[in-house]
Structures are given as structure tokens and as C-alpha cells.
Structure 1
């Protein structure tokens, strides 16, 4: 369950497999592209709580690999309840405070160039964009208020404290969930367990990008 609020509504994550109730029974490759990159269902209506504004940045190769992985998942029979917006949820949508990712994407825009994988600021920027780090840490990564109710203020990622950690300290933080100052990251709000699955080179590339952003030399 992605959202289950008695006032706002309930939204369950889709079953992506080809089992009973799964979208894999009816989605073809183009449907997956439309859903992942554009945040749209096959009929063109927007998907709720689908971070396609981040997945828009996926390279064609990475998107193809992701779709292949989803299609390779063993079928699981599971039907999920349809999304339901309750009165407050409908009010938030009407006021534009609950915006679908599909409405924030310029769907016919030129595809962003995908840098070659490597320990470079350019590839780090790609990973930051795909990971949607700016959703919580702010457009300039200098800190921000996450959209999730109850989430603490997300600190800036381009300050001197991160430089003081060094690359090894940054990687260790992403691997263990504890920063060099001994502060434990709350996995409810900072998905360090997901970043722990990245390779050392990927994490080093992210660190290189954050350092270049701090020095004002990066390109998003």
C-alpha cells in the first residue's frame, strides 16, 4: 500500500507480474514505456504516485533493461484494490496540491542525453535525476521539505559537511545508513537501503556530482 489515509484515500502498488490481477497480463513494451517514462496508463489517463518525472531521465538502454527485468518476474496471482480518493484527496487534487507526474512532464520534449557509465559528475547527475533526489532535497539539492506528511526536513547535499565526509565516508553512509557523525538515517524517509545496492563506482559518481554542484561546476 502506497497511501492509506482515512481522509485522503488509498492507493495500492500495482502487481507488475503476469499473474492474475497483474498488469503483465495486458501490458506490452510500449505500455511499459508509457507508464514508466510518461506516467500514463494505456488509455492515456495519469498514474497516481508514479515518479515518472524521475524515470523520464532513464536512458533507452536502462529503460529497456528495466522492462526486461519486470517481464522476467515470476507470475504472482494478486489483485489489488482500485485507487480511491476520499473527499480531502479530491479537494487536494482540485487545488493542484496533489499533482500527477504525467502533468509535469513535457512528453514531446527532446530526450535528455544519457552519459556513459563511469565515475564522473555527468553520470552522477544522471543517477541523481533518476533517483529523484530533488523531490526531497530541493531543486538545487540545498535542502527541502519532502512531500510526505511527517517527513523531517531533508538536509542539503552540497554543503561542506559532505565534502568533509570524503568519498569513502559517503559510500559508507549509503552502505550502512549511519553517517560519519554517527547519525542513523531513517529508512522511512531516506531510502539508503536502495542506494546500498548501487556499485561503489555508482556511489562515487554521485559523490563526484554533488561535489561539483557544491563548487558550481556541474551541469544538471
Structure 2
């Protein structure tokens, strides 16, 4: 064999070995990071039992992404099943066998939903609690009330197979869990009138942060499977998706159908199971908020 070729093959093999060792170490460090203790002081919120509170909780569960991961029955289903090996099935949060919330105390609901921290202090690695951190105490209580009365369904805890590269990026801080992103010192959000205003829309838009980023400018979703498309820029800046929608009616139609005004489909990664249930009032407010945002360049999450 040509000496140059032989040396090249040896070098490639050496680099491959080093790469595999690096991923192995990174995966170990990622697993260790996922078991760290996050100390968050929380207080319980009032959990309503009246019909109005339960109906508000039902609406939030249906429209804020909960059904897209946990299913309408709360038993959990696979929301990531990537051919590259990334798999995630949400845990059972109903009252049935295998429920992960059966022993939750009132403050545990707040810690998990609002702060992305499990009752034992470990971070909720995949749950996008940043989307729910700004829920008012009233809405958080209503959501919990609805979940607590879900009929029993059989399920299990979180089932996740996370590629070594994702764990390595998590260990390095390139991918962050919700507990890292959230400012835990922020007081709960104050109620906002549901009047269709941009301020009302800003409250609704909190549900978009997990994919579109805190500035809503989109870009590649950190930690998402490689075949997921980049999230769209929802600000009026470079690469904005808003230019496709001349008015709120076109925007609402997209949320209901998953199709743009020209008939082309929006990525199925968008949580349309939830978005199609969004009320016209909330959707119009969301559109009003997005239209008045300051332009942000695409990908500046």
C-alpha cells in the first residue's frame, strides 16, 4: 500500500477514535448535567374547582402545546421520532397507571410547569417550561385544575433516547434546558385584558418561545432533530414570515389549516393540534403583537 495512503488512513482512524471518545465523554457529561440539582423557591397557586376555572384550564391545555406532547388524554405520546435516533415520548400526566404527577404537591406543579424543575430538583430536560413561565397565577392554577381532573389513562414516565451529539452540545451549553433559560427571580406575570391588543398578544406569544426563541426571530431549533426545518422569523425583520399574511384573517386561516395563503403547507413541526384550537380573539391579538415588534434579524434567537 502506498505509504501516503496508509498514513492518511491511520490518521483518519485516529481522528475517528478521538471523535468517538469525545462524544462518549460529552454524552456522560450531558447525562450528569441532566441530574444536577436546581434550587428554586416556589409557592403554590390557588387551584380552582368551579366550572369557569376548569373551562379556562381546558382551553389552555388545548391551545398552549400540552396536547401536542401529552395527548388530549394526558397519557403522553411520541413527539420526536427521528430517523437519526432521537426519540421522545412525553410522560403520563393523567390520573391513571404510570402517572408521573400522582404524588405532586401544589408547589410541585408550579416548580415543574413554571420553572422547568422536577419535584426532586432535577431539570425537566425536554419540557419547554419557558413557554409557560409567564402564565399568570390564575391561568397556571386553571391549567393544573384541568390536568388533575383528567380521566385515568395508562402510560409511563418520559421515554427518551437522545443522541450522543445532542448530549454533548447540552453539556457544552450550546443546548440549554428550560431551567437554564428562565429567570427564576421574575415575579408571576400580571393579568392582561383579553382585548385583542398587542399587550394581549404578547401574553399569548409566550407559547412560541420554545421554537422561535425569546426574541421570536427563529432559526435552527437548538436540540431539535437535524431534519427539522429552522423556525421562522416572527418579527418584521430579515426573513420574516409575516410578509405572507396581509391581515389577521389570513394569519388565523394558517393556524387553522396549516397552510399559507398561497396554499403551500407550513412545516408539520408547528404544533397545529394546539394552534387550530386558538380562539380568534387570541389569534388576532397574537398577530397584532407580532406586527408591531421591532425587526430582529433571522436566527438571533
**Into which bin does the TM-score normalised by the smaller protein fall?**
0.7 to 0.9
Q: In 2, distance between residues paired with 1:22 and 1:200?
A: 34
Name the CA shift for 1:92/1:170 in 2 (closer, same or farther; >3 Å): same
Task: Check whether the contact 1:7–1:89 (CA below 8 A) recurs between aligned residues.
Answer: no
Structure 1, unmatched stretches of 5+, are none
Name the CA shift for 1:2/1:200 in 2 (closer, same or farther; >3 Å): closer
Task: Check whether the contact 1:165–1:180 (CA below 8 A) recurs between aligned residues.
Answer: no
**Corresponding residue for 1:18?**
95
**Corresponding residue for 1:205?**
285
Q: What is the SS of the residue equivalent to 2:291?
A: helix
Task: Check whether the contact 2:90–2:159 (CA below 8 A) recurs between aligned residues.
Answer: no
Quote how far apart the aligned CAs of 1:214 are. 5.2
Task: Check whether the contact 2:91–2:159 (CA below 8 A) recurs between aligned residues.
Answer: no
Deviates more, 1:135-144 or 1:68-77: 135-144
Aligned residue among 146, 151, 154 for 2:221: 146
Q: In 1, distance between residues paired with 2:83 and 2:256?
A: 36
Task: Check whether the contact 1:178–1:184 (CA below 8 A) recurs between aligned residues.
Answer: yes
Quote how far apart the aligned CAs of 1:5 are. 6.3
Q: In 1, distance between residues paired with 2:235 and 2:83?
A: 38
Name the CA shift for 1:80/1:169 in 2 (closer, same or farther; >3 Å): same
Q: Find the structure with the greater CA-based Rg.
A: 2
**Corresponding residue for 1:137?**
212
Name the CA shift for 1:139/1:35 in 2 (closer, same or farther; >3 Å): closer
Q: In 2, distance between residues paired with 1:89 and 1:162?
A: 31
Aligned residue among 55, 73, 79 for 2:156: 79
1:11-90 equivalent positions in 2, closer than 5 A: 11-80=88-157, 83=160, 87-90=164-167
1:136-215 equivalent positions in 2, closer than 5 A: 136-147=211-222, 148=224, 149-159=226-236, 162=242, 165-187=246-268, 189-213=269-293
- Provide the aligned C-alpha RMSD in A: 2.7
Name the CA shift for 1:7/1:94 in 2 (closer, same or farther; >3 Å): farther
- TM-score for both structures, normalised by structure 2: 0.63
CA-to-aligned-CA distance 1:64-122 (integer Å, 9 cap, x gap): 11101100101123234655656444423321233221122222222333312221100
Q: In 2, distance between residues paired with 1:94 and 1:200?
A: 41
CA-to-aligned-CA distance 1:39-71 (integer Å, 9 cap, x gap): 111111111211111110111111111101100
Task: Check whether the contact 1:11–1:83 (CA below 8 A) recurs between aligned residues.
Answer: yes
- TM-score for both structures, normalised by structure 1: 0.83
Deviates more, 1:168-177 or 1:10-19: 10-19
Quote how far apart the aligned CAs of 1:190 are. 1.7
Q: In 1, distance between residues paired with 2:284 and 2:125?
A: 33
Aligned length: 213
